[in-house]
Structures are given as structure tokens and as C-alpha cells.
Amino acid sequence: MPDAPGLELIRGEIERDRPGAVLATSYDRAQAALLVDPARVIEVLSWLRDQPGHRYDFLSSLHAADYLPNEPRFGVHYELINRGRVERVRVKTMLPDPGGEELPEIDSCVELFPTAEAQEREVFDFFGIVFRGHPNLTRILMPDDYVGWPQRRDFPIGGEPVTFTYTEQRYD
Amino acid sequence: MEVERRSLREKQLAARDLLRGDLEGEDLERYVEERVLTTNFEKVLNVARANSIFPLTFGLACCAIEGIPMAAVTARYDIARFGAEAGRASPRQADLMVLSGRVSVKMAPVIRRLYDQMLEPKWVMAMGACSSSGGMFANYAILQGADKFLPVDIYVPGCPPRPEAVLYGFTKLQRQIMGNPDQGWRQRYGGYGTEEWARGGPRSEPSPEAARAYEEARELSLA
């Protein structure tokens, strides 16, 4: 894990090679994260993967989160590991909600990290984030004919209301 | 035909005489009358069905890990006592489907297909809270009870149910089968005419005997 000055050094090097790609950094609870422009996330990922001296060449996880009241709404997170030094760095991008039926889009990183294939499908399945250039972007866990993006915060939780003794009073 | 009841000791002595070849005439008639029981074929058939259930070997979730091996097939609880130890890996040969665990939206069509492939008569046991009512999974991915898509004959609550509970539910199912030549759920849901043998033929109706037997079985299983 790069410490806070180390993270700033990484940011400075990326700024030198790819100016304007990294928007901010955060170092919280010993976790280093780079906040990246979503249009340029592939540049930053390939830089981190291939730059001699850094070589964060293993994508351990790719996931999304819905920060609904906030804007931009969707976050796509990439967890990268340098396996030699066992150092981790997180790349975050924030995607705005285009609204209506349109889905937010971001470039796919399957070319860089083949392991992202299934994980991007999962993110698409649950959040409706489209990864441009993905070889087979279909639902992976939910049924193919399922309608909606169930892990979004504005998706109804489903199930049936259950009356407990403490909720019974309300229906009197 | 009234047969005078004799004490067990007298019956044993008569049996000894029979084996020795000493029993003749009226004594022999009496011996046979004491040991013969009349019934009808349907009832015998249902006793046979209830005591030779072939469960379908498949599992859905944690109840399959916890429940089926622990509750049913291991020597400690041993479902073979009730004649149901012969698990069948093919739905074509199985009578009983034990829904062991939560049923997800994606799994439901698969289970329904397995159920449709089973030959009638067939029974379904919802084992555990999840397949009975959705359990703790009140969300978008889990069906709130397996009876949303197939008829369930018996519900065993618990998370997971105790082995005793599973076997108690199983014996209740047996009583239901013995008491009613039709399946209990057809009476409950008015599902007559959906039997595979009745498709395209005349609509089957519950006979008054079947309806009465159902009520008796229900009283038995509620007792």
C-alpha cells in the first residue's frame, strides 16, 4: 500500500505523463485511491499496469456503488495490486446518471485485464452501467429477461411486507 | 361378519396347532377369519405409495446441506424407517420433491420444469422458512414462498428445521397420502382436471369418497 506521500508521488507521475486524467486523491484509513476522469480511466489503468517501477498489474476487483443523493451518482471502483510488493491502489471514477431510460457508459478494461470480463457483466447486471467495448455484455446473475437494475438505490427492495408485533400498531 | 375375539395366548396356541397340522374344520375356518382383513384396492395402493416414496435428490441452498443429510439419510435419523431412502436422481422416477432452501427468481423456472417432469402422483415438501415464505430474504431475487409457482403439500418451518421436524412433516405427508387418493393440494386449490392422465380427456372431479377421505386426513394431520 503506498502511503499518503507515495500516493501523491504516483499522482504527480501520472500528471506528468497523462495531464488532467487524475482529478483528486484520497488517503483514508490507510487506503490509497485515485479519483479519475471517467473518460480517461483506461489511460490511467494502463499506465498503472505498465509503468516500470509501479506495475500494478493485477485487477483484484472491479465493482460499482450507487451514491444516490450525491451527484455524480455512480462510482466504478478498480482495485489494483502490485503482487511483488503487495501494494494496493484503488482507482475510482464517478459517473453521472444520464436520466430517463439511458444508461451511464464507461470504457471497458477487458483488453487490459481479462478478469474484468465477468465483473463488468456483474456491474452491468446490477447497476445498469454499460461498458463500451465489452465482448459480451449481458446479464450474468439475474435472469436474462429481468427488467431493472436491482442494486440501484432507487430500485424497490421487493419481497412482501411482514407484520411484526411492533409494526402492528400502525395498521390499527 | 363378526368374529369372536380370542386372547393372544389362545391365538398363539391356535397358530401352533396350525403349524403342527392339527387344525381342521371349524377351527381352521376360525383361524383364517381372525387373520384376514378386507379393504379396497385404492387404500392398499395408497398405503404402498405412502410407504415407498422416492424423493428427488437435489438441493437448493443451505437446507440441502444441513437438512437432507442430517435430517433424512444419516443413520441417526434415517428416513429409511419410512421407506423413503431411495433418492432418485431423475425426476421421472421420483415422487417427492423436497424444496430445501430459498427459491430464487432465476431458479424457479428450472424447478417448475423438474416438477412438471415428475410423474403423477407427486408431492412437494417446502422445507425451511425460505421455501415456505421467503424467510429472511425479502428482496428482489427470492420468491416469497415456493407456492407462488407450484403446489406445495406440506410446509416444514425452521431455519433449518430440526431433523425431527422434517421427519414429522414427512409422516404427516404419508398420512395425507394414505388418507386421500388424490393429492391434497388439488382439493385445496380446486386443481381437478390438471392431472397428466386427464389432459384432453374428461375433466376429473373429486369423488365424494375422496372428499370425505381428504377431510379425514386433514383432521388426522391437524390432530
Checking if the pLDDT of B161 tops 70, the result is: yes
Q: Cβ contacts of residue A104 below 8 Å, gap of 6+?
A: A73, A74, A95, A96, A97, A98, A128, A129, A130
Contacts of B141 in chain A (CB under 8 A): 142, 150, 158
Question: Residue B220: which of B177, B166, B160, B165 has the closest Cα?
Answer: B177
* Stretch B18-32: mean pLDDT: 85
Q: What is the ipTM of this complex?
A: 0.70
| SS3 state at B100 | strand
Looking at residue B56, the DSSP 8-state letter turns out to be: B
- Predicted TM-score (pTM) of the model is 0.72
Q: Which class does domain A4-155 fall in?
A: alpha beta
User: For position B176, what pLDDT does the model report?
Assistant: 81
Asked if A4 has any chain B CB less than 8 Å from its own CB, the reply is: no
Summarize pLDDT for A109-159 with one digit per residue, the tens. 998 999 999 999 999 999 999 999 999 999 999 888 888 898 988 888 777
> pLDDT by residue (tens digit) across A153-165?
888 877 776 666 6
In this structure, the dihedral spanned by the alpha carbons of residues B125, B130, B133 and B134, taken in order and rounded to 10 degrees, is -140
Tell me whether A147 touches chain B (CB under 8 Å).
no
φ and ψ at B156, to 5 degrees?
Answer: -115, 110
Residue A170 has what pLDDT? Answer: 54
C-alpha cell recorded at residue B142: 427470492
Whether residue B141 contacts residue A150, with contact meaning beta carbons closer than 8 Å, is answered with yes
C-beta separation of B67 from B195 below 8 A? no
Domains of chain B: 54-162 (3.40.50.12280), 180-223 (no CATH)
The model's confidence at residue B54, banded by pLDDT at 50, 70 and 90, is very high
DSSP secondary structure letter of residue B71: I
Average pLDDT over residues A68-89: 90
Question: B133: which 3 cell numbers?
Answer: 415464505
Cβ contacts (< 8 Å) between B138 and chain A: which residues? 157-160, 162
Q: Which residues in chain B have their CB less than 8 angstroms from residue A153's CB?
A: none
Question: Which residues of chain A does B105 touch, with a Cβ-Cβ cutoff of 8 Å?
Answer: 142-143, 146
Report pLDDT digits (tens) over A16-33. 888 888 888 999 888 899
Show me where the domains of chain A are located: 4-155
Cα distance from B109 to chain A (closest Cα, Å)?
A: 10
Q: Indicate yes or no: CB of A146 within 8 angstroms of CB of B144.
A: no
Give me the amino acid identity at A47: W
- Residue B198, pLDDT score: 47
Rounded CA separation B3/B6 (Å): 9
